[in-house]
Every structure is written in structure tokens, then in C-alpha cells.
């Protein structure tokens, strides 16, 4: 197997794995955050505005980790520096 | 009409015009167009302002937007919003309009390029110490780096850098992923499904603009706030002393 197909195979497999493994943690965390926020709103409906706003900020913080994984896998597929190095040689 | 090919992840790669080392790419062009739309639009609207009950509908629209931003800043920072309003409002409106126009064919949002989002994040990174220094002076601002103890200085600096990086990559990743998902869906099932995802992306774009503005407000007001809390405590203590005496 030559270098080109090795690099192509490795980047595609690794980008799939990055999304698969990298989205487990953030999804569990977001689920926990939403559960806690919903039960807090049920207990204190007056504070719903503050809780919802804080929930949104927290969800964005958690989701950014999944977004990092997505960016890495996009770079591996579309803008892989090693792929460019091999194909231009 | 597709501006970006499927294998280009940022509009930086679309070079429209080139002269020696000056390159005009799609990001710069659309940033200029957005700036022109927003500046000319608000100039046209605020040209004939009226305080009577029968004001124009565009004036009402701008009033709703501005008072909404001001109320949000006041609620989040727990301070008077007039000092944060120009910076935070500009960030929110620019990112919001840039993401919201993404349903127009042939348009690529400038916020889907890492250069734009890094520029916005760096402006937040610079604005935080500026607000802090204007509020309590250089020495007073530098003192907050060593707040619990002197060992916290490297951690404070690390957190400032990492949150700037996180701001940039969060916005870039969200907007870019939305565009890419729509483009991939268009090549797979080009009939109804991309429209639904596009509507979801409009919502996500506005939420991301909101989150960027909220985080900038939180960072800035955290620097400015401590001082005012001390003054309030002193006032309360004085009034209590007056009551007792």
C-alpha cells in the first residue's frame, strides 16, 4: 500500500472515530444539564428566565467541545496538510 | 448558485481578485457588504427620528432591537448598560446579521471563516483589559490577576488566552458546520430536507450571536464589577452605622 492511500484511509477512519468518541462526553453532559435545569424550573417557575439564560450559556460551553471534534474531523477530511503534502509531490 | 465547493471549508479560499500581495477573498467582500448594509440601513432609519406616537415602523423595529440589547446587558451584568452598549451591541448585530443572511444563495457568512471569528475574539480579548483599566486604573486592574494569591497569575493569564481561543473556534465551528451540513444534504437529497435544516441553522446562528455577546458581557462585567460591589458594601455599612448612631 502506498503512502497516499495510507494517509487517505487513516484520515477518514480517524475523522469518523473523532466524531463518534468525541460526541459521547458532551451529549451526556448536555443531557445532565438539561435535566437539572428542567427540574429547577419545575421547582421555581419564577426563576425560569435566569435559569434558561444560564442553561443556554452552559450548553454552548459544553457543545464547544463537540464542535472542536467536528472542526478536527473537517480539517482531516477537507484540509488535511499531509494529504496536500503527498499529492503535490 | 454555490459559492463554496464541497471541499472548501472557509470562504477565505474563494479568491475573487488578486494584485501582487493584495488578495480580495469572499470573506472580506461580504464583510464590506454587511458593513455597508448595516451602516446605510441605520443611517436611513435614524435620519428622521420622531418622538410622536406615529413613528415609522423601521424606527419601532430599531427601538425594539436596541432596548432589547440594553435590557439583556443590564440583566446579565447587573450594571448600567450605557458603557458596554456600543461594543456588545455591535458584536451582537454584526454576528447576528451575518448568520441570518445565510439563507441567501451565493452568500457565505463571514463568520464561517476562522479569520473573522478570531478577529472578533481578539477584540474581546483587548476590550476586557481596556474596560478594567478605565474603571480602576492600571495598578488596580493588574492587582486582580493576583487576587487570591500570587500563584494564580499564570492561571489567570492561561484562562484569558484559552477563553479567547474558545470564543473564536465555537463561533467558527457552529456557523461552518451549519453551512457544510446544508451543502452535503443538498448534494444527497436536494428537495425538502435542506430547507428544514436551513431553518434550524437560522435559529442556531442567532443563538450563537447571543452567546458570543453574553460571554463578552460576562467577561467585561466580571472585571468592572468587583470595584462597585466594594463601594456598595461601604455605603451599606455607613448607612447601618448611621442607623445605629
Alpha carbons B74 and B82: distance in angstroms, whole number: 9
Question: Which ranges in chain B belong to alpha helices (H)?
Answer: 26-46, 57-77, 85-100, 114-143, 153-188, 193-244
Q: Do B207 and A60 touch (CB under 8 A)?
A: yes
Q: HSE-up of B165 (CA within 13 Å, CB side)?
A: 8
Given a cut of 60, whether residue B245 has pLDDT beyond it is no
Domain residue spans in chain B? 11-47+55-244
Report helix, strand or coil for B22. Answer: strand
Q: Do B7 and A78 touch (CB under 8 A)?
A: yes
CA nearest to B162, candidates A53, A28, A61: A61
Number of A to B CB contacts under 8 A, please give it: 44
Given a cut of 70, whether residue B243 has pLDDT beyond it is no
In A, which residues are within 8 Å of B174 by CB distance?
67
In A, which residues are within 8 Å of B180 by CB distance?
74
Yes or no: domain A23-84 corresponds to CATH 1.10.760.10: no
Closest-CA distance of chain A to residue B173, Å: 6
Could you tell me which residues are beta bridge partners of residue B24?
A: B17
Q: Do A71 and B166 touch (CB under 8 A)?
A: no
Closest-CA distance of chain B to residue A57, Å: 6
ipTM of the complex: 0.74
pLDDT tens, residue by residue, B12-64: 777 778 887 888 888 899 999 999 999 999 899 888 777 777 778 888 888 99
Local confidence band at B242 (pLDDT 50, 70, 90 cut-offs): low
The structure's pTM equals 0.83
In B, which residues are within 8 Å of A11 by CB distance?
none
Domain residue spans in chain A? 23-84
pLDDT tens, residue by residue, B136-169: 888 888 888 887 788 888 888 898 898 899 899 8
Amino acid at each position: 500500500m502506498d503512502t497516499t492511500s495510507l494517509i487517505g484511509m487513516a484520515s477518514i477512519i480517524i475523522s469518523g472515530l473523532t466524531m463518534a468518541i468525541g460526541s459521547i462526553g458532551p451529549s451526556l453532559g448536555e443531557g445532565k444539564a438539561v435535566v437539572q435545569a428542567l427540574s429547577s424550573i419545575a421547582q421555581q417557575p419564577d426563576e425560569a428566565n435566569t435559569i434558561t439564560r444560564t442553561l443556554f450559556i452552559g450548553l454552548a460551553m459544553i457543545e464547544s467541545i463537540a464542535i472542536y471534534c467536528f472542526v478536527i474531523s473537517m480539517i482531516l477530511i477537507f484540509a488535511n496538510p499531509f494529504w496536500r503534502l503527498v499529492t503535490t509531490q | 448558485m454555490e459559492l463554496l465547493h464541497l471541499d472548501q471549508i472557509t470562504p477565505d479560499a474563494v479568491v475573487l481578485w488578486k494584485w501582487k500581495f493584495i488578495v480580495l477573498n469572499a470573506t472580506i467582500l461580504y464583510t464590506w457588504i454587511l458593513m455597508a448594509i448595516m451602516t446605510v440601513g441605520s443611517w436611513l432609519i435614524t435620519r428622521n427620528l420622531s418622538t410622536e406616537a406615529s413613528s415609522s415602523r423601521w424606527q419601532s423595529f430599531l427601538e425594539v432591537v436596541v432596548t432589547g440589547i440594553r435590557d439583556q446587558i443590564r440583566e446579565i451584568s447587573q450594571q448600567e448598560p450605557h458603557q458596554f452598549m456600543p461594543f456588545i451591541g455591535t458584536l451582537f448585530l454584526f454576528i447576528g446579521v451575518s448568520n441570518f443572511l445565510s439563507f441567501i444563495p451565493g452568500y457565505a457568512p463571514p463568520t464561517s471563516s476562522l479569520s473573522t471569528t478570531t478577529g472578533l475574539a481578539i477584540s474581546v480579548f483587548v476590550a476586557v483589559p481596556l474596560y478594567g483599566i478605565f474603571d480602576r486604573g492600571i495598578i488596580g486592574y493588574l492587582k486582580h490577576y493576583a487576587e487570591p494569591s500570587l500563584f494564580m497569575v499564570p492561571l489567570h493569564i492561561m484562562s484569558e488566552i484559552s477563553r479567547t481561543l474558545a470564543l473564536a473556534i465555537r463561533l467558527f465551528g457552529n456557523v461552518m458546520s451549519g453551512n457544510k451540513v446544508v451543502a452535503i444534504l443538498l448534494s444527497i437529497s436536494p428537495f425538502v430536507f435542506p430547507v428544514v435544516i436551513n431553518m434550524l441553522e437560522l435559529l442556531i446562528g442567532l443563538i450563537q450571536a447571543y452567546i458570543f455577546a453574553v460571554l463578552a458581557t460576562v467577561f467585561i462585567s466580571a472585571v468592572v464589577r468587583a470595584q462597585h460591589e466594594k463601594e456598595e458594601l461601604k455605603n451599606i455599612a455607613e448607612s447601618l452605622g448611621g442607623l445605629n448612631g
